Structure 1
Amino acid sequence: MESVEGTPAAVGRDGLLSLLRDGELPSRDAKPSQRERYRRIVDSAMELASEGGYDAVQMRAVADRAGVALGTVYRYFPSKNHLLVMGMLIAFEGMRARLEQAEIPGDTPSERILFILQKNTTVLERDHPRYEAMVRAYMFADASASAELDAIGALMGQMFGKAIGAAELSPVQLNAVRVIGDVWMSTLVSWVAGRMSAEDVLEHLASAVRLVFRRLGG
C-alpha cells in the first residue's frame, strides 16, 4: 500500500499495533527523520497534557513545542483527540509490555484481573492531568481514530487474557474481558468528571469483575 507522510501503510488494529511494537510509526516506509518528528509531536502533546490537562493540548502549542510546522501536526493527526488517543495507545502498550514478563498474583482469574486493573489505575492516578486528557479524547474521538481505538481495546484484551492465563481466549472469555474493558473505561469517564475517586473506580471494578467471572469459575 502506498502511503504519504502521516498515513500508516498498515492500517487497522493489528497493523497499527505492529507498527508501534516495531518502532516504525507512522509507516513502514517512513524515514528516520519522519519517525523522530512523529514521536516528538506525540511527546509534546503528552507534556502539555501533564501541565494543563485536555484544554492545554492545542495543535499550535503542540507544533511550537515539537519544533514543527502546524501543517505537519495536522498531516499526522486531524484533531487533538486523535493525537491524544494515540498517546493513550502508546501508554497502554507500555502497561502491557510491563505486564508481559511479570508474575501476576492471585488464585483466580478475577483476582489476577483486579491486580492488573489496580496497577494500571494507579499509573493513571500518578499523572491525573495527562490521563484525564487522554480519557476525554477517548470519549470524543471520531472515526479518524478508529484504528487507535480498536487497538486500545485489543491491548486491554491482551492484558486481561494474560491474567486469565489463556494464550487464546474462548468466545465466552473474550466477551467477559470486553465487558470488563468497557466497565473500566466507563468508570474512568466518571473519574475524569470528578464523580469517582481512584478508590471508587477500583471498588466498582471489583464488583463488576466478580459478577462477570462468577459463571467462569471465579
Structure 2
Amino acid sequence: MRSRSQNQRRKRIVQSAAALALRGGVEAMQMRTVAERAGVALGTLYRYFPSKMDLVVAVVSEELDLLEKSIVRRPPNAETAAGRAVDVLMRATRGLMREPELADALVRSLIMAEVKTELGQRITDLLWLVATRALPPEEGGQQAEPDRDSAGYVLAGSLSSIWFFELLEILKGDRDLEQAKHRLEIAAEPLLAGF
C-alpha cells in the first residue's frame, strides 16, 4: 500500500511525462528530463517506472482514467449497445490520437509485450459497462463488476481486440478515423446484438 506522498510523487512523475510527451512526443520523455521536471531523483523515478515503456503505459493509463470519468459524466446515449460501445471506442481513439507518438509507443509495447498492462481489460470492462448500461450514476458511485467469464464479456473483449487492430491501422496510416468508426460499427452490431 502506497502512502499518500508516494501516490502524489507518482502522479507528479506521470503528469510531467505527459506534459513532455505533448510537447515533443515520446522522444521528449527522457527519464532524466522527466525526473527533473517532476522534482525527483533519477533513482526514485526508476523505482516507480523501471523503463520508459512503463512510463508510457502509466501516461496512457492516466488518459484512460480521464476517459472513464468522462464516460460516467457524459454517458453514450445511443439506443443500441453497439452504438454506445462505438461511441466509447471513438472517444478512446480520439484521445490517444491527440498524441500519435505516445499511442504508437503504447501499441508497440503491447505487441512486443515489453510491459504488463491492463489496457485491454479496462477497455473491455468499459465496453461491457456501457453495453449493459451498468455505469455508476455518478463519479464515485458503485460500479457493477463484470462477469469476465460470461459470453457478453467475451464478446465485448472481441470488439476491444478489433478496436486495437483498427487503432494500429490508423497509426500505420492505412485507415482514417471515419473508416475505423465504420468498421467498428459493422463489427459491433453482431457482437453486441444480445445486450
Tell me if TM exceeds 0.5. Answer: yes
- Displacement of 1:82 in angstroms is 0.7
For the pair 1:179 / 2:176, whether they are aligned, the reply is: no
Q: For 1:74 and 1:209, locate their aligned partners in 2 and report how far apart those are by CA, in whole Å.
A: 41
Deviates more, 1:79-88 or 1:92-101: 92-101
One-letter code aligned to 2:150: P
Q: Equivalent pairs: percent with the same residue?
A: 29
For the pair 1:123 / 2:92, whether they are aligned, the reply is: no
For the pair 1:51 / 2:51, whether they are aligned, the reply is: no
One-letter code aligned to 2:3: A
Q: For 1:58 and 1:140, locate their aligned partners in 2 and report how far apart those are by CA, in whole Å.
A: 21
- Counterpart for residue 45 of structure 2: 73
Residue aligned with 1:78, SS: coil
One-letter code aligned to 1:100: V
**Runs in 1 of length 4+ with deviation above 4 angstroms?**
none
One-letter code aligned to 1:171: S
For structure 2, list consecutive stretches of 5 or more residues without a partner in the other structure: 135-143
TM-align CA RMSD: 2.3
1:81 touches 1:138 (CA, 8 Å); kept in 2? no
1:113 to 85, 101, 110: 85
Q: For 2:55 and 2:95, locate their aligned partners in 1 and report how far apart those are by CA, in whole Å.
A: 20
- Counterpart for residue 201 of structure 1: 180
Q: For 2:4 and 2:97, locate their aligned partners in 1 and report how far apart those are by CA, in whole Å.
A: 36
Aligned residues: 183
Change (3 A) 1:138 1:57: farther
Change (3 A) 1:63 1:69: same
Change (3 A) 1:50 1:155: same
Q: For 2:187 and 2:45, locate their aligned partners in 1 and report how far apart those are by CA, in whole Å.
A: 40
- Counterpart for residue 59 of structure 2: 87
One-letter code aligned to 1:198: L
Aligned residue runs from structure 1 range 145-184, under 5 A: 145-146=115-116, 149-150=117-118, 152-165=119-132, 166=134, 167=144, 168-169=146-147, 171-184=150-163
Q: For 1:108 and 1:130, locate their aligned partners in 2 and report how far apart those are by CA, in whole Å.
A: 32
- Displacement of 1:140 in angstroms is 4.2
Change (3 A) 1:174 1:154: same
For structure 1, list consecutive stretches of 5 or more residues without a partner in the other structure: 1-27
2:10 to 33, 38, 44: 38
